[in-house]
């Protein structure tokens, strides 16, 4: 099994300088690529001068995460793609548990390691933590991270467990399956495109695993912070995209109506918090969703009516009303 570690870069020369050494040191059997999204800084010059052995793929435009990877991965021929954020520090032998999991579980298409916080290395990190799930309303959450509550890593998630979605911050996916699924949906631009890809993989009966014996440290928010209004816009809109594309038709419209109502409540909450830019981001997300609706609806492909896409009823009610802050308080854990 040949692994390609592909780092998508946009004006991130400082991040490459800081984090690329760990990737090179601890990935001896992998081929390392930097896919550059038309950077205007000195990223390419830095790579050519300091890391001439790194393979560089130069995209002609900055098409965001989705388009950037779709274009770059056409030039990568290894068996497995590791899509790695440029602000991640990897650890010794991080690839070995991943390789073993792919060999042991033949029907697995996608894997993710444990994602810990680079700034507080004994805590889980926002983007992915210990594997991703959805609630019945389509809201994403993670083991180890519910909204802004991050768990301390006490080896409680050192397992191998089937999950619903793997984080795009560090995602391993078989090349043949990525291509068969048509890659990422470029209408997402960035944020939650990995949830859509994983949901489509689930609809084709592929499995997704979290491998807690492999760990990386993620800075997070290097491109957009967790509370950036643009991220609010993308997350609210793209979540509606995924529901529209991947649920059976009879479930789509009732769920979309419920989500629009709940998004409105979130907007009111932002209003009372005087976070007006986030309120406008939700309004903008809804209008963008209406604009793209028919285009997104036409992308519906294979829909597996038998998969249970949700892990709990409502993560919002559990967290904000019932004051349940941790994964184990909300759902019954099932290990593989």
> Which tens digits make up the pLDDT trace of 288-305?
999 999 999 999 999 999
Cα torsion angle, 9, 226, 152, 157, sign: negative
CATH 3.90.550.10 residue ranges for the chain: 3-218
> What is the DSSP secondary structure assignment for residue 246, as one 8-state letter?
H
| Between 17 and 223, residue with greater pLDDT | 17
The predicted pLDDT at position 332 comes to 65
The predicted pLDDT at position 333 comes to 43
The predicted pLDDT at position 221 comes to 62
The predicted pLDDT at position 220 comes to 83
- Residue whose pair of structure tokens reads 């298409």 in the numeric block: 109
| End-to-end C-alpha distance for the chain, whole angstroms | 23
Phi, psi of 52, deg, nearest 5: -65, -20
In words, the CATH class of domain 3-218 is alpha beta
| Between 223 and 115, residue with greater pLDDT | 115
pLDDT of 270 above 80: yes
Stated pTM of the model: 0.94
């Amino acid at each position: 099994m040949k692994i390609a570690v592909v780092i998508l870069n946009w004006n991130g020369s400082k991040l490459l300088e800081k984090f690329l050494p760990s990737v090179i040191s601890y990935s001896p059997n992998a081929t390392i690529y930097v896919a550059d999204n038309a950077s205007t800084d000195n990223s390419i010059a830095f790579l050519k001068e300091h890391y001439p052995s790194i393979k560089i793929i130069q995209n002609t435009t900055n098409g965001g995460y989705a388009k950037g990877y779709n274009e770059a991965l056409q030039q990568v021929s290894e068996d497995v793609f590791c899509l790695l954020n440029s602000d991640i520090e990897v650890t010794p032998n991080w690839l070995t548990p991943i390789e073993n999991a792919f060999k042991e579980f033949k029907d697995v298409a996608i894997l993710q390691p444990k994602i810990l916080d680079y700034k507080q290395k004994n805590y889980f990190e926002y983007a992915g933590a210990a594997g991703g799930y959805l609630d019945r309303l389509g809201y994403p959450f993670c083991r180890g991270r519910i909204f802004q509550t991050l768990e301390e890593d006490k080896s409680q998630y050192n397992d191998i467990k089937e999950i619903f979605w793997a984080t795009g911050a560090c995602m391993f996916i078989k090349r043949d399956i990525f291509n068969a699924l048509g890659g990422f949906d470029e209408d997402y631009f960035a944020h939650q495109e990995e949830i859509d890809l994983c949901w489509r993989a689930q609809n084709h009966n592929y499995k997704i695993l979290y491998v807690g014996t492999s760990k990386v440290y993620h800075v997070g928010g290097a491109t957009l912070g967790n509370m950036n209004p643009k991220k609010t816009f993308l997350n609210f809109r793209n979540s509606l995209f995924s529901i529209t594309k991947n649920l059976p038709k009879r479930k789509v419209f009732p769920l979309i109506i419920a989500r629009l109502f709940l998004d409105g409540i979130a907007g009111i909450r932002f209003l009372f918090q005087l976070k007006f830019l986030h309120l406008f981001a939700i309004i903008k997300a809804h209008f963008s969703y209406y604009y793209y609706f028919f285009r997104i609806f036409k992308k519906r492909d294979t829909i597996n009516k038998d998969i249970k896409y949700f892990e709990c009823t409502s993560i919002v009610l559990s967290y904000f009303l019932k004051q349940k802050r941790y994964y184990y308080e909300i759902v019954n854990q099932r290990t593989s």
